[in-house]
Structure 1
Amino acid sequence: MALDIRLKKVNKIYREGDVVSGLVIIQTKGELQHQGVSLVMEGIVSLQLSSKSVGLFEAFYNSLKPINLLNYNVEVAKPGKFPSGKTEIPFELPLRPKAGKSLYETYHGVFVSIQYCIRVEIKRSLLNKDLQKQCEFIVENKDQEEKCKLKPVNFTIAPDTLTNVKDKQHIPRFKVKGRLDSSCLQITKPLTGELMVEYCDAPIKSIEIQLVRVETCGCAEGFAKDATEIQNIQIGDGDVCRGMMIPIYMIFPRLFTCPSLSTNNFKIDFEINIVLVFHDDHLVTENFPLKLTRF
């Protein structure tokens, strides 16, 4: 026997106020006795602490309970029998949050995860195992308060601009100049810009652009903030030519990024690092905060 959920929208992308509709498909080789079929649609924010933060604040554990954004539980078939062959059960559910809640965009993170799913369960007699199937769908929002305004960023990376360096005497002489076309970006459009190595005494091994998620969990008593890498793109390989412009181009991956978000219990921010790796594997990094929007 096979159990499946087929949504009407092929791309599975919905917005608040939409109707999530589809079919529960049951395929059997013979008659199937059952005790009812239930369908659950839910949206949950899952929070967890990194290993370095566990035990620091007892108050965290109360604020790290899953946050339920929406929950529907309906019976789509009463107890009975499914005939041999294919049975299709249609369903329609409105995509609306619970009272006092908001629907955040789908996001798959490390310490924060926002997921929406439909789960179907066929209940069977005591001697038979219940059958379950789950299907995730994507929620996007376009009702943000302000539109994204271009904020160009010009930067210079040199030994004098570096922070968190104790001994700058052992850093080779170098200077990298460039610009990001904007630090406020539409999530559907790429991060663009350019950079140029004006001079560098040491041979260069690689120039990379690293996209980082910064997830903050906690409450008024304290917050745990953790930065983790999403993706790393090499834009220069080897000892690149001096004085030549190198383009910066990065597309934001779906699901692993979302519009920048701040709530009482968690925050999701994004940054990029421009990383210059020297031939001896020493590296210097310059960090730039980003604001992502759906507009």
Structure 2
Amino acid sequence: MSTTLNIVLKKASKIYHEGDIVAGVVVVESIGEVRHEGLALAAEGAVSLHLSTKNAGIFDAFSNSIKPMTLINTVMELAPAGKIPPGVTEIPFEMPLRARQPLPGAPAGCGLLETYHGVFVNITYTLRCNMKRSFLNKPLNTSCQFFVQYHPQEAAPRKPVRCEITPASVRRGPAPGPRPAMPHFQLYAELDSTVCPLDRPLTGKIRVEECAAAIKSIELQLVRVETCACAEGHARDEFELNIAVIFEDDYVVTENFPILLVRSSKGDLFQTTQRDRRE
């Protein structure tokens, strides 16, 4: 006799905000009557550090002291011990999405962090259903991941940034073999704003004022920063928004721009777009 469990959420996107109700049904399907010792549903959320063979050396000093941080751990009973008839049975549920306590790093008024799947850090939220059965039958388990996002924020004021890039202002990247003297150059970089809504393009311009050597390419690298901290200190693998200038002799010079990503509401996005057009 085969019995299956499945969790189906009402929202197809599986995206929720703090304070929402996570609603759906647990589907039990069996060709015969199912006896059980109770069904329970748990909502779990945690921040965890992911180590692999590629990055283990970076976080060796912290791997023994960093443990997953619990964001949510809510359990509710779906059904007491009893019987489930043959066929398909749907058991509805509703669970409020609330944090155990406010956490550092979340916006004001928020206790949850956004779902995040990074290189080293993962922030995940999962629903788990468990059907207890007699000792002659193994318990049944199923899970379903859902996603947490911050509420859209009011449009933040633009923060343009401009800088001059010269041999005195940049750091030099690695180059194979002997390195000749750095050529003279003068570039200007400008970002329209370091506060960037996720649903709008990142805009700016780069101007080459003068350069004594040929430039192979100018690259804009949009990457991320992940920091893991514990009582012993913190480890960081650097990811940033960089402007990289690569010369023909493989000299690489970079300039870094810290940016803030925000979720803006559609109304704020429309008003900002109209203002930009008038300017």
Shorter-chain TM-score: which interval? Answer: 0.7 to 0.9
Structural mapping, 1:182-261, within 5 Å? 182-200=193-211, 202-219=213-230, 221-228=232-239
Unaligned runs of 5+ in 1: 229-270
1:132 aligns with one of 141, 144, 160: 141
- Structure-2 change in CA distance of 1:26 and 1:208 (3 Å): farther
1:151 aligns with one of 156, 159, 175: 159
In structure 1, how many angstroms separate the alpha carbons of the residues matched to 2:112 and 2:200?
23
In structure 1, how many angstroms separate the alpha carbons of the residues matched to 2:180 and 2:250?
17
Q: Aligned partner of 1:284: which letter? A: V
- Structure-2 change in CA distance of 1:184 and 1:127 (3 Å): same
Q: State the shift of 1:151 in Å.
A: 1.0
Aligned to 2:48: 46
2:253 aligns with one of 284, 287, 292: 284
1:141 aligns with one of 150, 174, 178: 150
Q: Aligned partner of 1:293: which letter? A: V
In structure 2, how many angstroms separate the alpha carbons of the residues matched to 1:147 and 1:209?
25
Unaligned runs of 5+ in 2: 104-110, 265-279
Q: State the shift of 1:68 in Å.
A: 1.2
Q: State the shift of 1:174 in Å.
A: 4.2
- Structure-2 change in CA distance of 1:284 and 1:12 (3 Å): same
Q: Does 1:123 align with 2:92?
A: no
- Structure-2 change in CA distance of 1:283 and 1:192 (3 Å): same
- Structure-2 change in CA distance of 1:121 and 1:169 (3 Å): same
Q: State the shift of 1:73 in Å.
A: 0.8
Structural mapping, 1:58-97, within 5 Å? 61-62=64-65, 64-97=66-99
Q: State the shift of 1:20 in Å.
A: 1.0
Task: Kindly provide the CA deviation profile for residues 105-163 of structure 1, in whole angstroms up to 9, marking residues without a partner as x.
Answer: 2222223222211111222333443322221222222387x862211122333433322
Aligned to 1:22: 24
Which has more radius of gyration?
Answer: 2
Q: Aligned partner of 2:255: which letter? A: E
Q: Does 1:161 align with 2:189?
A: no
Number of residues of Structure 1 aligned to a counterpart in Structure 2: 249
Q: Do 1:48 and 1:217's aligned partners in 2 also have CA atoms closer than 8 Å?
A: no
Q: TM-score, normalised by structure 2?
A: 0.75
Q: Aligned partner of 1:150: which letter? A: R
Counting strand residues as a fraction of each chain, which structure ranks higher?
1
Q: Do 1:26 and 1:86's aligned partners in 2 also have CA atoms closer than 8 Å?
A: yes
